[in-house]
Amino acid sequence: MTNIEYDVLIIGSGASGGMAAYALTQKGVRCLVLEAGPLIDFQRQRGLKSTYELPYRGFGKPGRLSHVFQANEFNANQWVDEQQVPYTHDPKEPYNWVRVRMVGGKSLFWARMSYRLSDYEFKARDHDGFGENWPIGYADLAPYYDRIEPIFKVTGRTEGLAQLPDGVFVEDSSPYTESLKRFGEAGKSRGMTMTRIRRALGDGQFASSYNLLLPAAQATGKLTIVSNAVVREITTDRKTGLANGVSFIDRQSGRELHARARVVVLGASCLESTRILLNSKIANSSGVLGRYLHDQFYISNGVIAVVPEAKDGKAPRGLMGGAGYIPRFRNLKTKEKNFIRGYATDIYTGGTPDAKYFPAWGEDLNRMLESHRGAAIGTTIMGEVLPRYENHVRLDPKVRDAWGIPALNFQCRYTDNEFNMAKDAVATISQVCEDAGFEVLNGNDKMFPPGYSIHELGTCRMGENPKTSVLNKWNQCHDVKNVFVVDGSSFVTGGTQNPTLTIMALAMRASEYLAEQMRKGDL
């Protein structure tokens, strides 16, 4: 047994926890990372199989992972088992909570989309009067984005857009294909600007804390990682009220342990961090812990169109292929009647529409699929969801996980602002497709349930006022000064941008502040 007191105990090893470990150890801070899942040996853990070798012929075990639309029979074992770690919601208001417990967390599997937030998000209230501003602005975070993008090798095209600030890119100057050019030109009259998708290239197979952050942190000699450590709660000193460590359970044996530290950093993912705080009964004098849950609504294939010249295998070279990104263009300088904020769109060309879009079967369907092979334009619509007090998580008094930790109960729904935005998105993109000379095959304005984007945000938001926020502008708990929360739960608003890059920038900024406070003896 050991009686070590670490400088900082970090819960979680994904993008946020990994970045905290990276930034703190670079400053000479001695850290312990507790990760709920195992370290994966990818060579042993995965193997090629045919669909017919799977027990359910690729359909997956019925009823398993019913909330994880991203799951299939090949990858089912990579997600958190919903029976082992359950959560609850009203059956009429589902929430898709998608989780990974492994060293590296969800950063092992993310789509790598890497976009900066702008002051349209940080100062959103100033633009439309809804909600709160962040206690920081773009200028506060920009230096951290500047340092993280080179680590993750983010590709992108420099554009000078106010709503999507440029980064330190591996510059993507590749030409658009003709179909993308046509879409981009047609969108201009509606205020759209098309740019390249900004994506982390990473190193080799991964762009993850697993290969880009944790190894560098461990090379300092200042980092200890313990896997399979399921955290139950943060423990506090009765006299001071400050955190003094963490109680956790060994995932495989069920053994209860306690680790001591001067400071605790939560980077367990947005809702797991909030769950731990709720179960620890700390950091909630404001009553907003668990509140203002938001994400981005997603509509995959919101509009499916076809490029007529590409049908029947007749696409000339350079017509099809590649992808573009339309950043938010609504409510920047103009004002929409039916909704505030806006949406972004991924557009990709060259695929084949799914069979469900064709009202046919048998040989007719086969002919249609062959005719449309490689001729499709697909879009994914990503809309900003307003952070509302009513949308929240709390501990379920009746349901516990396999280790006896209370489960989360979700109460979250989209509102007319999101529904109206989705309708506008599908109508506008459909019109742009038609203006570009494409045939619209299907338009769908029904979004997936909340949570599907795996961009859950809020529930532990930052702010200047301790009565309306959980964290200060340094991701530090107002109530418990030696507890920091560095993941997506700290967000005040989420915009339309994929949040991981911002989560890492916040984690780096908070960690360097923390290291400085420790150096000065203030923590």
Partner 1 sequence: MKRRSFIQTLAVTPALAVPVAANDAAPSVTQQESAALEIAVADAAAETHQKFFTALQFSALKRLSGIIMPPMNGLPGALDAGAPEFLDFLIGASPADRQQIYRTGLDQLNSQARRKFGRHYADITNDQAVELLAPLRKPWTYDPPGDPLERFLREAKADIRTATVNSREYVTAESSGGRRRGGVGQYWYPID
CB 18 within 8 A of CB 268: no
Task: For residue 484, give Cα distances in angstroms to 70, 409, 462.
Answer: 31, 23, 11
Nearest alpha carbon to residue 137 among 492, 397, 381:
492
Rounded Cα gap, residues 69 and 447, in angstroms:
13
Q: Which is nearer to partner 1, 12 or 60 (CB)?
A: 60
CB of 141 to partner 1, least distance (A): 35
CB 61 within 8 A of CB 73: yes
The count of residues interacting with partner 1 (CB under 8 A) is 41
**Is 49 among the residues that bind partner 1 (CB under 8 A)?**
yes
CB 513 within 8 A of CB 47: no
Of 111, 162, 219, 355, the one binding partner 1 (CB under 8 A) is: 355
**Is 52 among the residues that bind partner 1 (CB under 8 A)?**
yes
> What residues numbered 282-301 form the site for partner 1, per CB under 8 A?
none
CB of 94 to partner 1, least distance (A): 14
Of 43, 50, 253, 334, the one binding partner 1 (CB under 8 A) is: 50
CB of 331 to partner 1, least distance (A): 25
Q: What is the DSSP string of 169-187?
A: -EE--PPPPHHHHHHHHHH
Amino acid at 326: I
**Is 75 among the residues that bind partner 1 (CB under 8 A)?**
yes
Q: Which is nearer to partner 1, 134 or 358 (CB)?
A: 358
**Is 399 among the residues that bind partner 1 (CB under 8 A)?**
no
**Is 427 among the residues that bind partner 1 (CB under 8 A)?**
no
**Is 53 among the residues that bind partner 1 (CB under 8 A)?**
yes
Look up tokens 């919101």; give the residue.
Answer: 302
Of 362, 397, 398, 522, the one binding partner 1 (CB under 8 A) is: 362
Rounded Cα gap, residues 248 and 88, in angstroms:
23
**Is 40 among the residues that bind partner 1 (CB under 8 A)?**
yes
Of 129, 359, 397, 521, the one binding partner 1 (CB under 8 A) is: 359
Q: Which is nearer to partner 1, 79 or 144 (CB)?
A: 79
Indicate if the alpha-carbon torsion angle 153, 501, 101, 222 is positive or negative.
Answer: positive
- Here the tokens at position 516 are 């400085």
**Is 43 among the residues that bind partner 1 (CB under 8 A)?**
no
> What residues numbered 203-262 form the site for partner 1, per CB under 8 A?
252
* Cα-based torsion angle of the residue sequence 61, 298, 153, 490 in order, rounded to the nearest 10 degrees: -100
Amino acid at 357: Y
**Is 350 among the residues that bind partner 1 (CB under 8 A)?**
no
**Is 446 among the residues that bind partner 1 (CB under 8 A)?**
yes
- Here the tokens at position 225 are 């990682």
Binding track, positions 366-385, relative to partner 1; x by CB under 8 A: x-------------------
Look up tokens 């605790």; give the residue.
Answer: 264
Q: Counting Cβ atoms within 10 Å, is residue 397 exposed (0-12), middle (13-18) or buried (19+)? A: exposed
**Is 360 among the residues that bind partner 1 (CB under 8 A)?**
yes
The binding site for partner 1 (CB under 8 A) comprises 37-38, 40, 44-54, 56-59, 61-63, 72, 74-78, 102, 252, 355-357, 359-363, 366, 442, 444, 446
